[in-house]
Amino acid sequence: MKRLLARPRLPRPRLRPAAAVLTAVAALLLPLTATQSAHAATTTCDPQGTISAGDYTIQANEWNSTAQQCVTYNGATAWSLDTANFGLPTSGAPATYPSIYKGCHWGACTPNSGLPIQISRLGSATSSWSTTQVGSGAYDVAYDLWINSTPTTTGQPDGTEIMIWLNSRGGVQPFGGKTGTSSAAGHNWDVWTGNQTSWKIISYVLQGGATSVNGLDVKALIDDAVGRGSVNTAHYLIDAEAGFEVWQGGQGLGTNSFSFSASTGGGNTGGDTQAPSVPGTPTVSGTTASSVSLAWAPSTDNVGVTGYDVYRGGQLAGSVTGTSFTDTGLSASTAYAYTVKAHDAAGNVSAASPAVTATTASGGGNPPPGGGCSATYAVSNDWGSGFTANVTVTSGGSPIHGWTVGWTYPGGQKITNAWNATVTQSGASVTAANASYNGSLGASASTSFGFQGTGSGAVPTLTCTAS
């Protein structure tokens, strides 16, 4: 799953079955107008397989089932779920979320996405989506927008997950509880909110349902979420996905066409249209095996510069208000190219500075083993008969190359599936070992894994052993 493939989605169990299924609204149904380009069909049956679709990526994203699923790409942005016969109860997490996305999903980024964008600087975000839905099974038809506190992340985003449900059937409901209604973006929505362990979830469920939307004002929904306290405007929109969470059935679901675009600006109400001057060429003020420090001469502006965006290889690495920045989490002995853009309070953005290339220092060989580690256990959801939980593993003062976490359940809990670790259980005793991609941790670094189980989610005492 490393190797720049999309990571599994963390589960969001639906705690209450719906009383009725959303039905399609004829006024919102839109015919497919985009002509699909000729393309030889490409199919993946890998649970975490991905297929490139130009500026988009199609992901199989089967994370909570071992049943076979096959996704076929038919050209342009069209794809279908050709093999699927899931059979999970709707009271728990879905089996899969096959979807198409633009942006950066768990560190896997699409080209020319325009993302990430800080919410306070989001000028517009629109999308059109035409779907094929089937009359059996249990599933939702939903966007998934991920918002993170920093411009990039290779793990679980820690800000807000915004879901936009166009339709559903089979009695499934969003995570959390219904807390209101909204008329944002010119449609009527039921609004559901809830909190996971490290991020918020807000879902907009289209009243009446639909199979297609055209020019949906996604920014209006984001603004609505900001107004409800679910989104921090200092955070970043990093990823926009659209697909099907499937509990039961699923074969025949598909996307006929999809588009998503987002841009900065649009918030300029004071008449300021002048962009700041180009920042000075950044200079490298220091490097380590995992970081690069930069500094640059400031920009000028007719009103005032409010901050700078630093780009690494064309992707936003971070935003600062001053004229220096340290980029962390890099690979040793690797060259990185950086540019800087300035922005003002009206959303005007300068041209990019000239680029500078920095090479990180050598890693200096393998550090000795035995740096030590600790682990913390947190229940993210508990619905009586089942639960989901996350464990965070943190290295000590020295790097480690692998880890094993153990615990004993006090009340007969049984783990049914897990992600980001190999988890085994014998009676009440559980052992979790790192996956191939998250065993090596730098000093005082962290990673996490999660799982779903039966029984109540009581918190056990953990042990952590490093190698």
* DSSP annotation string for 244-289: EEEEEEETT-EEEEEEEEEEE-----SS--PPPPPPPPPEEEEE-S
Shared-domain flag, residues 349 and 383: no
Given a contact cutoff of 8 angstroms between Cβ atoms, the answer to whether 254 and 81 are in contact is yes
Shared-domain flag, residues 377 and 354: no
CA 255 – CA 121 distance, rounded (Å): 30
Is 246 inside a domain boundary? Answer: yes
Q: What is the pLDDT of residue 70?
A: 96
Shared-domain flag, residues 353 and 461: no
Of 317, 332, 359, the position where a domain reaches its end is 359
Q: Tell me, what CATH number does 304's domain have?
A: 2.60.40.10
Token readout for 296 is: 């640059």
Shared-domain flag, residues 240 and 339: no
Given a contact cutoff of 8 angstroms between Cβ atoms, the answer to whether 137 and 246 are in contact is yes
Shared-domain flag, residues 34 and 124: yes
Given a contact cutoff of 8 angstroms between Cβ atoms, the answer to whether 459 and 379 are in contact is yes
Is 366 inside a domain boundary? Answer: no
Is 58 inside a domain boundary? Answer: yes
Centroid of chain to Cα 141: 17
Q: Name 100's bridge partners.
A: 58, 242
Closest residue by Cα to residue 155 from 276, 284, 1, 311: 1
Pairing label, strands 315-320, 356-359: unpaired
CA 386 – CA 14 distance, rounded (Å): 11
Other CB atoms within 10 Å distance of the CB of residue 64: 26
Shared-domain flag, residues 34 and 151: yes
Of 311, 328, 359, the position where a domain reaches its end is 359
CA 419 – CA 423 distance, rounded (Å): 8
Is 298 inside a domain boundary? Answer: yes
Indicate whether this model's pTM tops 0.85.
no
Pairing label, strands 200-206, 160-169: parallel
Q: What is the pLDDT of residue 40?
A: 57
Q: What is the DSSP letter of 38?
A: P
CA 439 – CA 400 distance, rounded (Å): 8
Q: What is the pLDDT of residue 78?
A: 95
Shared-domain flag, residues 161 and 121: yes
* Percent helix / strand / coil, the chain, rounded to 5: 5, 50, 50
**Could you tell me which residues come within 8 angstroms of residue 161 by beta carbon, excluding any fewer than 6 positions away?**
144, 145, 146, 147, 196, 199, 200, 201, 202
Is 227 inside a domain boundary? Answer: yes
CA angle 109, 316, 291 (to 5 degrees): 100
Which residue type occupies 55? Answer: D
Shared-domain flag, residues 116 and 200: yes
Which residue type occupies 25? Answer: V
Is 4 inside a domain boundary? Answer: no
Is 130 inside a domain boundary? Answer: yes
Q: What is the mean pLDDT of each run of 10 residues along the chain (467 residues)?
A: 35 38 36 42 92 94 94 95 95 94 90 89 93 96 95 88 97 92 93 90 96 94 91 92 97 96 67 84 83 89 82 82 83 86 80 87 49 76 75 82 88 87 91 89 84 79 85
Q: Which domain holds residue 248?
A: 26-264
For the sheet with 421-426, list strands across it.
Answer: 421-426, 429-434, 403-408, 462-466
**Could you tell me which residues come within 8 angstroms of residue 383 by beta carbon, excluding any fewer than 6 positions away?**
13, 15, 91, 92
Q: Name 128's bridge partners.
A: 259
Token readout for 208 is: 């009446």
Q: What is the pLDDT of residue 189?
A: 95
Token readout for 57 is: 């990526």
CA 323 – CA 321 distance, rounded (Å): 7
CA 158 – CA 200 distance, rounded (Å): 8
Q: How many domains would you assign to the chain?
A: 3
In the three-class reduction of DSSP (H, G, I as helix; E, B as strand; rest coil), residue 16 is classed as coil
Q: Is 100 exposed, middle or buried (0-12, 13-18, 19+ CB in 10 A)?
A: buried
Shared-domain flag, residues 413 and 462: yes
Is 14 inside a domain boundary? Answer: no
**Could you tell me which residues come within 8 angstroms of residue 209 by beta carbon, excluding any fewer than 6 positions away?**
22, 23, 24, 25, 166, 167, 168
Shared-domain flag, residues 220 and 74: yes
Q: Tell me, what CATH number does 47's domain have?
A: 2.60.120.180
CA 82 – CA 68 distance, rounded (Å): 10
Shared-domain flag, residues 222 and 301: no
CA 230 – CA 378 distance, rounded (Å): 22
Shared-domain flag, residues 351 and 378: no
